[in-house]
Amino acid sequence: MRAFQAISHDSPPILTEVPRPTPQSGEIELRIRACGLNFADLLMAKGTYQDTPPLPFTLGLELAGEVVGIGPEVEGFSVGQRVAVNAGHGGLAEYGCFPAQVAMPIPDEMPFTDAAAFAVAYGTSHLGLTRRARLQPGQRLVVLGAAGGVGLTAVEIGAQLGAEVVAVARGPDKLAIAREAGAHHLIDSETEDLRERVKALGGADVVDDAVGGALTVAAIRACKPEARVLLVGFASGELPKLAANHLLVKNVEVIGFYWGAYRLFAPEALTDSLKELVGWYLDGRLTPHVSRTFPLDQAEEALEFLRGRKSTGKVVVTMD
């Protein structure tokens, strides 16, 4: 079978032929139909992500497909069943074997491209905003990187939770997409002063930050007393330099949030969150935004599209 693998952290990943795997105890085998790309894939290829597996490995954190094999000691799955998997890696291939405990049945109404673009982005925003940031209806939510894969879902979910959503993104085209997702206010980070604009609105109750760098610092300075700043990632490539005295004086809470870690210490939190999100999807409350799809033999081009910040929402690689 074909798989897109990282062979070395010093050279680009390659599409190569590898043996088709056999499901072991506790695993299901999937015919993979689609794989959603994430910023973490770029970090894994370089060996700088916190959960980078040993070389060589197949890239692709999240995927969707059909069950074609069932290993020993697996219950609740059947051949032909449609599922989505938050695997950590292994999604950019034609077949893969994954622990059944990280697989979630998906409804027939959900296309594979939507399913492959769903779990990480929506799961991150939903669990982060509800469990960690404790966002309440009527509070002002500032979303940095609001047109990105995670940022756009934070806009959408924040609006669904009844927040007043302030979308921060680069350029009018990306801001227009954030408005469609439910943003009430738009700030162009290329041309406007983030701190002054947010303060003019009354300040931030919650900041959802997948960007890092200078934008984080500006957003913190626009926070209200007892605001919460949710650190989701650092797509800018820069860690923010936080002034502890600003946090102290305003009683601002900075919250680290790594969604993938919940697979290890609180998997039920992920399961409950995703069940609620799928229900919202079926009710028409969520609309995954896939800006572009690529075939598997163009996986490198797909990663470059993501790396060059050309995408909005999600980029998906399909195997058909």
The Cα 104–Cα 101 span in angstroms is 8
Check whether residue 101 and residue 126 sit in a common domain. Answer: no
Range of the domain at 39: 2-118+288-318
Can you give the length of the chain in residues?
320
Is residue 252 located within the same domain as residue 125?
yes
* Domain assignment present for 274: no
Question: Is 278 domain-assigned?
Answer: no
Is the peptide bond preceding residue 56 cis, with omega within 30 degrees of 0? yes
Q: Clarify whether residues 179 and 233 are in a common domain.
A: yes
Q: What is the CATH number of the domain that holds 90?
A: 3.90.180.10
- Give the up-direction half-sphere exposure of residue 205: CA atoms within 13 A in the CB hemisphere: 14
What span, in angstroms and rounded, lies between the C-alpha atoms of 216 and 238? 10
How far is 107 from 68, CA to CA, in rounded Å? 17
Encode the chain (320 residues) as per-residue pLDDT tens digits. 999 999 999 999 999 999 999 999 999 999 999 999 999 999 999 999 988 999 999 999 999 999 999 999 999 999 999 999 988 899 999 999 999 988 999 999 999 999 999 999 999 999 999 999 999 999 999 999 999 999 999 999 999 999 999 999 999 999 999 999 999 999 999 999 999 999 999 999 999 999 999 999 999 999 999 999 999 999 888 999 998 998 999 999 999 999 989 988 898 898 899 999 999 999 999 999 999 999 999 999 999 999 988 888 999 999 98
Nearest-10 crossing angle of helices 149-160, 119-127: 50
pTM equals: 0.91
**Boundary of a domain, candidates 240, 259, 278:** 259
- Residue 279 resides in a domain: no
Which is nearest to 259 in space by CA: 285, 230, 228, 286? 230
Q: Which of 259, 276, 306 is the last residue of a domain?
A: 259
Report the number of distinct structural domains present in the chain. 2
* Cα angle: 88, vertex 38, 181; to 5 degrees: 125
Phi-psi region at 317: left, alpha or beta (left = phi > 0; alpha = psi -120 to 50): beta
125 and 255 in a common domain = yes
